[in-house]
A and B are shown apart, each in its own frame.
Chain A
């Protein structure tokens, strides 16, 4: 079936089969491989995107359910060559090791700071509880979230 949706602000169309996840459609048909495919069961968060502005696991949304809706992926955060403040903070804080979880964490962090510009550590923990990182131990990721929050407020 053919779906029409808005991806990162642009109208797009894709051919998908009825049981296909939004993640597969994004990565294959729409050629946006930023959202990562790891657990395919909503446990790891590396496929996190915004669906109509809400943080979701794109592996748990049917591509066909996104028909007529708006999706923002990690590719849609930067402004051309200019990185999103959250992306810049992840680089500056060294919150990246293997990098596989990073797109999901960046999208989840952007969603958090949009809603809560000055999050407490507990709020950060809760907001990122659906995103697994097996390299960093999360310390640098927390540093990056606080750094991004600081730069986005000023």
Chain B
């Protein structure tokens, strides 16, 4: 167990021990540990690295530390800037999970069901990755390379999410058997970005990675169909591919109504 007290120390430790599994909120990793599904050679506890916490605004651009919790993403000021992320955060687990779970963890786990991912993708998020070699920025669409696979190099850590908030009407919706403690059957974030004349939607749990669909406003009537067609869902324990496609069509139409009202 390695517990760095600063970002420099964290990056140095990750470079010396690339096999160390980073742990922040622990809401994914502890399940694996408790059920003995994994026995990492080392754990890198990021809880004491102050530089990874919170969020800031610089010249209109937003920087969310990878240690930002879902509870923090629901709080008024940030929720006003990124309303779809706040809505998605409200659907994550329970208060206990939201107090611990972080957006950096959602990125590290890179599950197609990660609730924070669709709202970040429709807002054009860039992921800031750091190592002792330096800092690089990767678009979220390129960061997610497969189910539970991301573009992190073994010596890198997720430092932050950067984006220029559109300020446009946006929403997040999720299908599941109850309101709390649910892994999405499918999910959708949508932005009606009038300034760029563009509709953007990102779907979750409906393909190997969270996917983005863009279209001009003039294609509003066919947009829900475009979203359903772009997804590549599978049949699994949570739902069938056909149901997911259908649900995405319904969610996209509802989201359009909500955002264009």
Do the two shown chains form a genuine complex with each other? yes
Contact of B1 among A1, A41, A61 (CB under 8 A): A1
Residues of chain A within 8 A (CB-CB) of B100 are 56-57, 60-61
A79 in the interface, Cβ–Cβ < 8 Å?
no
Contact of A55 among B3, B26, B40, B99 (CB under 8 A): B99
CA distance A48 to B94 in the complex (A): 11
Q: How far is the CB of B101 from the nearest CB of chain A, in Å?
A: 9
A151 in the interface, Cβ–Cβ < 8 Å?
no
B250 in the interface, Cβ–Cβ < 8 Å?
no
* Contact A130 B26, beta carbon cutoff 8 Å: no
* Contact A48 B1, beta carbon cutoff 8 Å: no
Question: Quick check: which of A7-15, A62-70, A95-103, A139-147 contacts chain B, the rest being far away?
Answer: A62-70
Main secondary structure of the interface of B (DSSP, over half): loop
CA distance A108 to B96 in the complex (A): 9
Q: Which of B24-56 contact A (CB under 8 A)?
A: 25-27, 30-31, 33-35, 39-40, 42-43, 45, 47
CA distance A20 to B12 in the complex (A): 25
| Contact flag A41-B31 (CB < 8 Å), given A62-B26, A129-B180, A130-B93 | yes
B95 in the interface, Cβ–Cβ < 8 Å?
yes
A127 in the interface, Cβ–Cβ < 8 Å?
yes
B97 in the interface, Cβ–Cβ < 8 Å?
yes
* Contact B33 A57, beta carbon cutoff 8 Å: no
User: How many pairs, one residue from A and one from B, have CB atoms within 8 Å of each other in the complex?
Assistant: 88
* Contact A59 B95, beta carbon cutoff 8 Å: no
Contact of B30 among A54, A55, A61 (CB under 8 A): A61
Q: How far is the CB of A43 from the nearest CB of chain B, in Å?
A: 6
> What residue of chain A has the Cβ atom nearest to residue B2's Cβ?
A18
Contact of A130 among B39, B40, B97 (CB under 8 A): B97
* Contact B1 A18, beta carbon cutoff 8 Å: yes
Q: Which of B72-124 contact A (CB under 8 A)?
A: 93-97, 99-100
Interface residues of A, count at CB 8 A: 28
* Contact B45 A65, beta carbon cutoff 8 Å: yes
Per-position binary interface string of chain B over residues 114-157, scored 1 when its CB falls under 8 Å from any chain A CB and 0 otherwise? 00000000000000000000000000000000000000000000
Q: How far is the CB of B246 from the nearest CB of chain A, in Å?
A: 27
B222 in the interface, Cβ–Cβ < 8 Å?
no
> What residue of chain B has the Cβ atom nearest to residue A44's Cβ?
B181
CA distance A42 to B100 in the complex (A): 11
Contact of B96 among A18, A21, A130 (CB under 8 A): A130
| Contact flag A62-B30 (CB < 8 Å), given A45-B94, A129-B94, A129-B181 | yes
Residues of chain A within 8 A (CB-CB) of B95 are 55, 108, 111, 126-127, 129-130
Contact of A42 among B31, B35, B47 (CB under 8 A): B31
* Contact B43 A45, beta carbon cutoff 8 Å: no
Can you sample 6 A-B contacts with CB below 8 Å?
A: A18-B43, A41-B35, A57-B100, A108-B96, A111-B95, A129-B181
18 extra A-B contacts, CB within 8 A, seeds A41-B34, A60-B100, A130-B181: A19-B40, A21-B30, A40-B34, A42-B30, A55-B96, A57-B96, A59-B34, A60-B25, A60-B31, A61-B26, A61-B30, A62-B33, A64-B3, A65-B3, A65-B23, A65-B26, A65-B45, A130-B96
